[in-house]
Amino acid sequence: MHTLHRFTVALAAVVALTSACNSSDSTGPSAPLPVLGFSVTPTGSTSARVTFSGRSSESYDIERAEAATGTFASVKTIAVLTADGTQTYNDAGLKATTLYRYRVTSVKNGTRSASTAEATATTLAFGSAAASIATDITTSRTLFADTAYTLSGFIHVANGATLTIQPGTTIKGDYNVLGSTLMIMRGAKIQAVGTVDAPIVFTSSRPAGQRQPGDWGGLLLIGNAPDNRSGVVNIEGSGTDGTAIVSGKNYPVQYNGGTVATDNSGTLAYVRVEFGGFAPIQDQEFNSFTFAAVGSGTRASYLESLAGLDDSFEFFGGGFDLDHLVAFETADDVLDMSEGFSGRIQFVVAMSTVQLVPRTGGGFYSVDLEGIENDGCNGTGCDLGFDSAPFTIPLIANVTIIGCGQASCMGAGGGHGMMLRRGTGGYYVNSVFARWSTDGISLRDAVTYTRAGSTKTPSASADLQVRNVLFADIPKVFQDSSATQNLLDLTANSLTLSTATAASLFTAIPAVGATPTGLSAFDFSPATGSPIATGGLSTFTGAIATKAGTFVTGTAYLGAAAPGGAKWWTGWTAYARN
Amino acid sequence: MRRFAVITLLFTILFGAPSAAISQARSTGRIVGRVVDVATGQGVTDAGVQVVGTAIGVLSGIDGRYTINAVATGTVTLQVRRIGYAPKQVTGIFLEAGKTVEQNISIANAAITLTAVSVTASAEKGTVSEATDQQKNSISVVSTITAEQIAKSPDGDAAQTVKRVSGVTVQDGKYVFVRGLGERYTTSSLNGARVPSPEPERRVVPLDMFPAGLLQTITTTKTFTPDQQGDFSGALVDIKTKEFPAKRSASVQLGSGYASGATGSSLFSATGVGGEPFAMVKHDRDMPPLIRSITDFQHLTLTQADMNLLASSFRNAWTPKTGTGAPLLNGSASFGGNDPILFGHRLGYLISATMSSGTDVKDDQVRALADRGNTKGSTVELDRFTGSTVSQGVLWGGLTNLSTYIGTNNRISFNGLYNRGSDNDARVETGTLSSDGIRAKITRMQYVERAVYSGQLSGEHQITVAQKFDWAATSSGVRRYEPDRSEFVQAIEKGASGSDVLRWVNGGSGGAVRTFSDLRESNHEYRGTYQLEIGPTSGMSTIRIGGLFRSTTRDAQSLSFAIAARGLDNSQRALLPEQIFDGRFATATSNIFSIGPLSQGGSYTARDEISAGFAMAEVPVGRRVRVIGGARYESDRLEVDAFSTLGSPVRTAKLWNDLLPSLAVNFKISETQQLRISASRTLARPEYRELSPIISRDVVGGENVQGDENLQRTNVNNADIRWELYPRSGEVISLAVFAKQFVNPIERVYGAGSGGTSFVFFTNAKSADNYGVEVELRKDLDAFGKFFTPFTFFTNATVMQSQIHLDPSSQAASTNFNRRMVGQAPYVLNTGLTYSSHTGASTATLLFNRVGERLTAAGSSPLPDVIEQPRNVLDLSLRWALSPFVTVRTDLKNLLDTPHEISQGSVIRESYNGGRTIQAGVLWRP
């Protein structure tokens, strides 16, 4: 008996230890927590959708009021939930083009929470045609201006198809289908030629006022031009739906290994991409515009990137001509080129004023915002490291790139007007950089410096030349001005650290920290007597002249706008923070 | 560099079981044991065991077990007889009043000439001989380590022990791989049943989960027989927990330790919420209810007030505390016996519990990425971080073994095991994030809790003398719980005075991250085997038919959240994280924090059902040759549902049917020499995580790892030839040649993305070929003279050659074509010297271990492959008897303290120093 007793005690001890691991969920406080994630979106002329995050064992009361002054009345009670989850309520029977206010109250164990802050929605106008694009486009197709298109999923234009988009067409990236993106695949083409009065707009499917960077993916062109990486290299952010090629899904998209420098991916003109840049993988966002291995048969002009995550315009290998680019509120770099990009760009205006709040879970602002970030080669398949050929040698002329003006919105590693690294070359002429908190140019590494001939005064044949550039509201021109290496001679290369403020250079730009009132806040034309009205390199020589050909011409002024010239960034562009 | 000297004092109190003799007459004792066939190692039933000079005797029952009660005390001789076997006497068994003596007796087939018909029981050298006997008699190539060898070694857990086996390598002190193959090709089982793995990316159980004190034997089997599970591909490591003792005994052992390098020095350590030291953390580490209630962040529009609330809802703990390292503690208790407590029915029982805890420091820890240089084939270092990790660990567990006989021919056993452990880590490192162009300090706190349980009910039934049936039903499960990992990144910037200032990297997605992970898996396994012996005893054939069904479900989730902030000035960024998150930036008017889930995460569930059947026969051909042949059929129905944070679910359904034949021929060249030839087909299935195309990332700046739902299982064709010589009991010399062909081996490789981004994924290579030679030697050194008599030398070495074959159009083609298979090392060497005093009471063991350059991941071209560098490990363990009751033990581990190092070209990707360990203790056995 004695033995049995001891045995039982020991067994009980083991059982007690064994069962100690079982955990139970802790219960929250009895009073309801605040209702999170509450928003309202108009879904038609007579309907709106209410969305919020619901919690188990709570019920919810949705109230609505008409117009700015109407009184709230309950429109829907959601019974006690049995599980956490996002709640949506489609409120129907509304009047068209009418403002409605909504609020939600949580009830738990008879206790009501405080109501949410009000959210508003204005119902849509009657009668516009709508179409959803949810599968890959494998035969040529035209999109029409009278139809509201919604891009739902990862839409690949493939199989040699041509996607033609009429002027004035609006295509909305579906906020509800994560990462919705348009990819023009190798061999396929896009003909999206808008006009000043009827631009083609890619934007978020959410109503104005609710849009956020990262609401949808972006526009990607994948061509067949060469780059400098070997092996299999995929578009960053692609491949999150597995490796199988399934229409509308995010399968891996290889872009390297192209062979046709003159490849043609189509024509873009007067095209805006707004609130894109969704990141399917952390730190691997799509950009507003991504050009991967795009060949010289392609032509792009008058493109605007507005409030997108990652870069406004990113280029991987290839090379083609672009002109008249606009970037407002960029989350990383305005221009980002690498892997042997050899194209030419003239006339770019870019301005950021703030760090916007991206879509929750859509990605983040970068920790290194720069104006231009150019790399030679980086990553797998750079067989000769930074010296892998072909080198990245673009010609960038007449750019006006204005940062947000404070270290606090540039990221811990950012704030360089130009970041030139990893063996990049290129010709950077007749430009203005303003309000970059760290410096004007970072020539990051020795290999990049060798592109300039490892001399402070690069010859006219050097692969890296920076000529006739003015810097304003920037602490210093080069990152480490005391270093004996990796910087260029200011005088010999006509690089000017302006004593004038950035605001004084231009006809109108908002003050640092100010919220732009709209497009009218921006006039990048030189102000009267501005130092950027002159000082340009009007005649190119040497390698720059060869590269420029007839596409890029020298100017007597610096920046993207001729004194008294056309304000080409108006009419077809938009400025909005949400 | 910090060196550890850990002095441990062990106090062992053995309860002498004062009530042990209640049911027994004072003048008699009890003898128990097994009668086994010397050739096969199998138990022999129906053998008569008699006490010479008396009429007392019994017939052996199932598995050859016998018990003789009420034997008069004094020196006793036993005689064993059975038809077909030569009779055998065992003399010199000393029996005390009221005590039980365990005596196993091996008998030989009458056809074999015996040189000695009797052996003296006291001369049996214990379990080392038992191990070599088991090795000798097994029908396949096995290596066994027994409890006695475990006790002699300085090993604290199963992982440390098993690396003493030939061809075995232990990675990270946890994962076993055999013959230099990746751990993917080694399976582990506990008492013959599969144990689920608590590691999300591996199928292998970390063997450090099993304290050495609970182990009876560890058997490593390297050739396949159809009665083993088909995903045995390289080797099977079976852990047997201790059975009940023959006589009642109880013991309690307590120990304490002192860590000279840690105590008193400014050691940082992870903060906790309570419960961490017991691996039973409180709920304060759970995902905050507000965060958890949001099931779909990406379709909600969070207001600033919402984000302020959410950012403030995390536990405000980011910085490790400074303090002293916790003292080393260990203890164990066990209680067992064999008593008529079940309504007068004898029940064997063992209840055992053990725990250990301590602080472990990895110093001079370096991690870096390799980038290719500007000349072909050269590498340059990138993103190098240096720092150290302080880890507070605890491991405790217990087991209950119950066993009873119904008649003499039926045995029913229950085996229950529960283990639980935790690691509470703090890692602080500084380095450069080259892509962002900043120097940074990364502070990470991570707490991982692991628990394994297993309950097994098994039975053995001797239906007739020639027929036997055994079965087992096992329920097991595992949980890996990692609540609330924190990471905080600060840029090291120049302050106004030119000195370094730490400022939060408040932008991007990695500046402040919290991660919550949980993995649960449960297994139900049922198996049965019927065995029939036919033919005369001198040439008996054995037929075995059996089946197995196993169902597994796994549920795994990992969610990460990043907090970013806008508009902080430099002085605000320089605040401590606990200040930043104390609410000052989350007031009603604050417009600073944003929060979001990271795409590196998601969840997956797996359901896996394996049905298998086998038939095999062991047939003697003539007197010297035995042929073992058969086949196994396995059908695996596997479904994995993956939900990435991106929200598009991917379902994978696999149905794999495999016929796995096996043929072995064992040649008995002489009494002491044996030649084995075998050929078989086995397979390796992808791990569930590898089939889930969701992305995970361990550390800021670390690699994104992504599964692939298109993976195929690997088929392995094996061939082995092995010659063995057993000169004397306890000695062995063997030489083996093996070849393996892998079809569709699964490899961990790097994929490339635009802009230099990269990720790790899993893919099938076309095939791989492996060849190798294995040598094992265990030899007493008495031949060199009297002085050397107490010494035994042993060594085992394996040399391997491996070549991968890739399909040039596959994703794997971005790796190097001319290389070994991933996971493969070119050689493994274990060697040692044991001194054993005449009585066996004092021993000294010197152990040396070295593994060749192991390929841990294929480099993406043109980068070279990632190699784990060889390390020399030298351990010394001493036991000397001060008196018959007191033994002093000293264990010196990792005497050379060679750094752990993983390199890629000229770049050191990872390295750290583990430090030397000295433990001392006293064992008291009354």
Examine residue A28 and state whether it is found in any structural domain, yes or no: no
Sign of the dihedral through C-alpha B339, B342, B347, B353: negative
Peptide bond into A531 cis (omega under 30): no
For chain B, give the percent of residues with pLDDT over 70: 79
Of B761, B639, B645, the C-alpha closest to B708 is B761
Residue A170 Cα, gap to closest chain B Cα (Å): 22
The neighbouring-strand residues paired with B256 are B9, B329
Q: What are phi and psi of A341, to 5 degrees?
A: -65, 135
Sign of the dihedral through C-alpha B802, B807, B813, B817: positive
Dump pLDDT digits (tens) for A395-410. 999 999 999 998 888 8
Q: State the total domains in chain A.
A: 2
* Nearest residue in chain A measured CA to CA from B353: A14
Positions of CATH 2.60.40.1120 in chain B: 22-124
| Residue A424: both structure tokens together | 């990049």
Residue A7 Cα, gap to closest chain B Cα (Å): 8
Of B646, B314, B291, B703, the C-alpha closest to A362 is B646
Residue A412 Cα, gap to closest chain B Cα (Å): 6
pLDDT recorded at residue A7 = 39
Rg (CA), chain A: 27
Residue A191, Cβ density class (10 Å: 0-12 exposed, 13-18 middle, ≥19 buried): middle
A124-127, long-range: CB within 8 Å, 24+ apart, which pairs?
A124/A42, A124/A44, A124/A45, A124/A96, A124/A97, A125/A45, A125/A96, A125/A97, A126/A45, A126/A96, A127/A45
State whether residue A308 sits within 8 Å of chain B by CB: no
- Rounded to whole angstroms, the Cα distance separating B374 from B905 reads 14
* Lowest-confidence pick of A176-180, A188-192, A352-356, A450-454: A176-180
Size of interface A-B (CB pairs under 8 A): 321
* Nearest residue in chain B measured CA to CA from A117: B303
State whether residue A38 sits within 8 Å of chain B by CB: yes
pLDDT recorded at residue A282 = 77
Mode of pairing for the β-strands spanning B854-857 and B215-221: unpaired
Residue B170 near residue B163 (C-beta atoms within 8 A):
yes
Dump pLDDT digits (tens) for B155-195. 445 555 555 555 566 655 566 667 667 667 878 787 888 77
Residue B431 near residue B384 (C-beta atoms within 8 A):
yes
Same domain membership, residue A517 and residue A433: yes
State whether residue A16 sits within 8 Å of chain B by CB: no
Decide yes or no: CATH 3.20.20.70 for domain B307-435+445-924. Answer: no
* Nearest residue in chain B measured CA to CA from A176: B299
pLDDT recorded at residue B520 = 92
Sign of the dihedral through C-alpha B220, B225, B229, B232: positive
Same domain membership, residue A399 and residue A287: yes
Q: Which of B294, B371, B567 is nearest residue A36 as measured by Cβ atoms?
A: B294
Half-sphere exposure in the Cβ direction for B485 (13 Å, CA): 25
Examine residue A23 and state whether it is found in any structural domain, yes or no: no
Question: What confidence category does residue A38 fall into, taking pLDDT thresholds of 50, 70 and 90?
Answer: very high
Of B370, B373, B368, the C-alpha closest to B860 is B370
Q: Which of A17, A234, A375 is nearest residue B398 as measured by Cβ atoms?
A: A17
Of A219, A237, A222, A225, the C-alpha closest to A340 is A225
Residue B772 near residue B788 (C-beta atoms within 8 A):
no
Question: What confidence category does residue B116 fall into, taking pLDDT thresholds of 50, 70 and 90?
Answer: very low
pLDDT recorded at residue B661 = 95
Examine residue A19 and state whether it is found in any structural domain, yes or no: no
* Lowest-confidence pick of A92-101, B23-32, B82-91, B472-481: B23-32
* Nearest residue in chain A measured CA to CA from B338: A3
pLDDT recorded at residue B841 = 64
Rounded to 5 degrees, what angle do the CA atoms A174, A179, A183 make? 95
Same domain membership, residue A325 and residue A203: yes
* Lowest-confidence pick of A167-181, B78-92, B281-295, B598-612: B78-92
Residue B910 vs residues B189, B363, B903: alpha-carbon distances, Å:
31, 12, 7
Mutate to test the interface with B, among A221, A233, A447 (most CBs of B within 10 A): A233
| Residue B480: both structure tokens together | 């890996």
| Residue A279: both structure tokens together | 């990141």
- Residues in Cβ contact with B915 at an 8 Å cutoff, skipping those fewer than 6 apart: B1, B2, B3, B4, B261, B361, B363, B894, B897
Same domain membership, residue A405 and residue A256: yes
CB atoms near residue B343 (< 10 Å): 6
Residue B368 near residue B907 (C-beta atoms within 8 A):
yes
Same domain membership, residue A450 and residue A415: yes
Question: Which CATH number does the domain housing residue A418 bear?
Answer: 2.160.20
Beta strand extents in B60-147 (DSSP E only): 65-72, 74-81, 88-95, 100-102, 105-107, 118-120, 142-146
- Rounded to whole angstroms, the Cα distance separating B240 from B242 reads 7
End residue of a domain, out of A89, A122, A155: A122
Would you say residue B563 has pLDDT above 80?
Answer: yes
- Rounded to whole angstroms, the Cα distance separating B663 from A120 reads 76
Dump pLDDT digits (tens) for A150-196. 999 999 999 999 999 999 999 999 998 888 999 999 999 999 999 99
pLDDT recorded at residue B20 = 36
Q: Which of B290, B294, B351 is nearest residue A11 as measured by Cβ atoms?
A: B351
State whether B752 and A84 contact (CB < 8 Å).
no
Examine residue A228 and state whether it is found in any structural domain, yes or no: yes
Residue B724 near residue B136 (C-beta atoms within 8 A):
yes
Same domain membership, residue A511 and residue A418: yes
pLDDT recorded at residue B426 = 92
User: Average model confidence (pLDDT) for chain B?
Assistant: 79
Greatest mean pLDDT among B687-691, B713-717, B919-923 lies in B713-717
pLDDT recorded at residue B706 = 81
Decide yes or no: CATH 2.60.40.1120 for domain B22-124. Answer: yes
State whether residue A234 sits within 8 Å of chain B by CB: yes
Same domain membership, residue A157 and residue A92: no
- Rounded to whole angstroms, the Cα distance separating B458 from B700 reads 48
- Rounded to whole angstroms, the Cα distance separating B80 from B34 reads 11
State whether B594 and A10 contact (CB < 8 Å).
no
Residue B643 near residue B604 (C-beta atoms within 8 A):
yes
Positions of CATH 2.40.170.20 in chain B: 307-435+445-924
Residue A277 belongs to what domain range?
130-548
Sign of the dihedral through C-alpha A476, A478, A480, A481: negative
What residues of A are in contact with residue B295 (Cβ under 8 Å)? 53, 84-86
State whether B295 and A84 contact (CB < 8 Å).
yes
pLDDT recorded at residue B335 = 80
At B162 the three-state DSSP class reads helix
Of A235, A242, A191, the C-alpha closest to A217 is A235
Examine residue A44 and state whether it is found in any structural domain, yes or no: yes
Would you say residue A26 has pLDDT above 50?
Answer: no
Residue B250 near residue B17 (C-beta atoms within 8 A):
yes
Same domain membership, residue A155 and residue A114: no
Residue B61 near residue B43 (C-beta atoms within 8 A):
no
State whether B300 and A39 contact (CB < 8 Å).
yes
State whether A368 and B437 contact (CB < 8 Å).
yes
For the segment B301-313, the average pLDDT, to the nearest whole number, is: 91
Residue B718 near residue B738 (C-beta atoms within 8 A):
yes
pLDDT recorded at residue A28 = 44
Residue B745 near residue B800 (C-beta atoms within 8 A):
no
Single-letter amino acid, residue B874? L
State whether B646 and A236 contact (CB < 8 Å).
no
At B248 the three-state DSSP class reads coil
| Residue B625: both structure tokens together | 């040759």
pLDDT recorded at residue B447 = 94
Residue A361 near residue B597 (C-beta atoms within 8 A):
yes
Question: What confidence category does residue A77 fall into, taking pLDDT thresholds of 50, 70 and 90?
Answer: very high
pLDDT recorded at residue B19 = 36
Residues A525-545, buried b or exposed e (16+ Cβ, 10 A)?
A: bbbeebbbbebbbeebeebbe
Dump pLDDT digits (tens) for A464-486. 999 999 999 999 999 876 665 67
**DSSP track, B542-600:** EEEEEEEEEEEEEEEEEEEEEEEESS--HHHHTS-HHHIIIIIT-STT---EEEEE-SS
* Nearest residue in chain A measured CA to CA from B711: A243
Same domain membership, residue A317 and residue A397: yes
What residues of A are in contact with residue B315 (Cβ under 8 Å)? none
Same domain membership, residue A82 and residue A166: no
Same domain membership, residue A142 and residue A77: no
At B616 the three-state DSSP class reads strand
Question: What confidence category does residue B121 fall into, taking pLDDT thresholds of 50, 70 and 90?
Answer: very low
Examine residue A299 and state whether it is found in any structural domain, yes or no: yes
- Rounded to whole angstroms, the Cα distance separating B778 from B729 reads 10
Examine residue A519 and state whether it is found in any structural domain, yes or no: yes
User: Average model confidence (pLDDT) for chain A?
Assistant: 90
Same domain membership, residue A234 and residue A208: yes
ipTM of the complex: 0.84
Residue count (chain A): 578
- Rounded to whole angstroms, the Cα distance separating A112 from A108 reads 7
At A360 the three-state DSSP class reads coil
Residue B548 near residue B530 (C-beta atoms within 8 A):
no
Mode of pairing for the β-strands spanning B379-406 and B746-753: unpaired
Q: Which of B293, B400, B510 is nearest residue A53 as measured by Cβ atoms?
A: B293
- Rounded to whole angstroms, the Cα distance separating B453 from B805 reads 40
Examine residue A559 and state whether it is found in any structural domain, yes or no: no
End residue of a domain, out of A72, A90, A122: A122
Q: What are phi and psi of B578, to 5 degrees?
A: -65, -25
* Lowest-confidence pick of B59-73, B125-139, B810-824: B125-139
Dump pLDDT digits (tens) for B755-784. 666 677 888 889 999 999 988 888 888 888
Residue A114, Cβ density class (10 Å: 0-12 exposed, 13-18 middle, ≥19 buried): exposed
Single-letter amino acid, residue B392? Q
End residue of a domain, out of A122, A152, A169: A122
| Residue B789: both structure tokens together | 């008599």
State whether B418 and A17 contact (CB < 8 Å).
yes
Residue A494 near residue A538 (C-beta atoms within 8 A):
no
For chain B, give the percent of residues with pLDDT over 90: 24
State whether B754 and A233 contact (CB < 8 Å).
yes
